[in-house]
Amino acid sequence: MKPAHKHPLSPVLRLYRINAGSCNGCDVELAVTASVSRFDVGSLGCSYTENPADAHVVLITGPLTARVREKVLRCYAEVPEPKITILVGICPISGGVFRDSYAVSGPVDRYLPVDVNVPGCPPRPQAILAGIAEAAALWRAGRGMAPASPEAVTSAPQDPGVTGTTGVRGRIRFNAAACVGCRMCEHVCAGGAIRFCEEDAGLRFTLWHNSCAFCGLCSHYCPTKALTATGEWQMAHRQEEKYRLVEQGVIPLVPCTGCGDPMLPVAAELLRIGYRGVSRETDRLKTLCTECRQKQSIGGLRR
């Protein structure tokens, strides 16, 4: 492994980390990038410094508690311009699971300009390195330097892929065809990352990855497995993309075959869970809205 100062990306880019009240997850992973050879920031031509006056890149973790806000802003101000700012983990980006607490001041971009976001809770070291590489590219571009050649930027060590395991818990995927609109996912989401909106065309599902803790409670409690975690962990992005990092889908409304009123269709998955077998009768009943179904099966509306 090349020492940082001999790296083709030189001069050496110095990193300064500020803990803004984090749970220490992201910070432990940052410590890993300073000590474990396969994730060492030296391979990106970077090194950590504890002297803000020396730094080029600031990494911030934590939701910015009321208590540390002033100190964090003071530390930040000690890093000279031009500097690139990276937010590590969802806490500084959106407040994460702590958003809306009386003790939390964030998100961080309310107080200072941000360049790169690395979502995750915590993100794996490979994702953090990708964010740092992005910051390095921004810094080089800002100084009119040529972009680094592809070989100069480290590639993440190949995932060994252990048989019988599900692998990294990454980006959540939504399958609108399997969704029944029960909103259990929204109910169990600690990060407030899921919203349903009723629109004319149907029910829109939105999951904002910058508020997602990637915990998988939503997919665990989803009755029809409309939500699944993929292995996609590479989600570092520029600040401009912050609000567009979403997973969306619309369950289109269908007209009731009885009265024509728009209704949410019953997903085939729900029938598979509910019934041992789907008869023609069930298949027909599922195309009726609740009122029509009641009229058909019990002869009238239930009060």
Partner 1 sequence: MSTKTITFGPSQLALEEPMYFRVETEGEIVVGLDVLAGQVHRGMEHLVMKRNLYQNITLLERLCSLCSNSHPSTFCTAVEEVAGIIIPARAEYLRAIADEIKRISSHLFNCAVIAHITGRGPIFKQAMEVREIMQDTKEAIYGNRMDLAANCIGGVRYDLTPESAGFLSKQMERMKTPLDALLRIYATDPAIRERSEGVGVLSRRNAVDCAVVGPVARASGIDYDVRKKSPYGAYDRLSFTTSVEQSGDVRARIMVRLREAREAVSIIGQCLADMPAGPAWADTLPEIPAGEAIAKSEAPRGELIYYLITDGTDMPVRLKWRVPSYMNWDALKVMVRGERIADIPLIVNSIDPCISCTDR
Partner 2 sequence: MIEVLENIAAELNRWTGQEVAVTWRLDRKGVATGWCRLREAACILPAAQAVASMEGRLSMVTAYLPEVAKRTGAREIAYHFDLDGTTLTISIQLPPEGAQVPSLTTIFRNADWNEREFMELYDIQVTGHPDPRRLFLDESIEPAAFERLIPYSTFSNGASSTALWERVIADNARKEAP
* CB closer to partner 1, 100 vs 200: 100
Give min distance, CB of 257 to partner 2, in A. Answer: 30
- Report the site for partner 2 in 65-84 (rule: CB under 8 A): 65-67
Total residue count of the chain as it appears in this document: 303
The answer to whether residue 195 forms part of the interface with partner 2 (CB under 8 A) is: yes
Q: Which stretch binds partner 2 (CB under 8 A): 98-106, 127-135, 159-167, 219-227?
A: 98-106
- Report the site for partner 2 in 244-263 (rule: CB under 8 A): 244, 246, 248
The answer to whether residue 101 forms part of the interface with partner 2 (CB under 8 A) is: yes
Tell me how far apart the alpha carbons of residues 136 and 133 are, in angstroms, rounded to a whole number: 5
* CB closer to partner 2, 183 vs 195: 195
- Report the site for partner 2 in 207-226 (rule: CB under 8 A): 208, 211
The answer to whether residue 62 forms part of the interface with partner 2 (CB under 8 A) is: no
Select the binding partner of residue 20 from partner 1, partner 2, none (C-beta < 5 to 8 A, by kind). partner 1
Angle of the 25-32 helix axis to the 125-142 helix axis, nearest 10 = 70
Which residues contact partner 1 by CB under 8 A?
16-32, 34-38, 48, 50, 52, 62-63, 65, 67-68, 71-72, 75, 96-98, 100-104, 121-122, 124-125, 160, 162-169, 187-191, 213-217, 220-221, 229
**Can you give the binding site for partner 2, defined by CB under 8 A?**
65-67, 94-95, 99-104, 106-107, 192, 195, 197, 206, 208, 211, 243-244, 246, 248
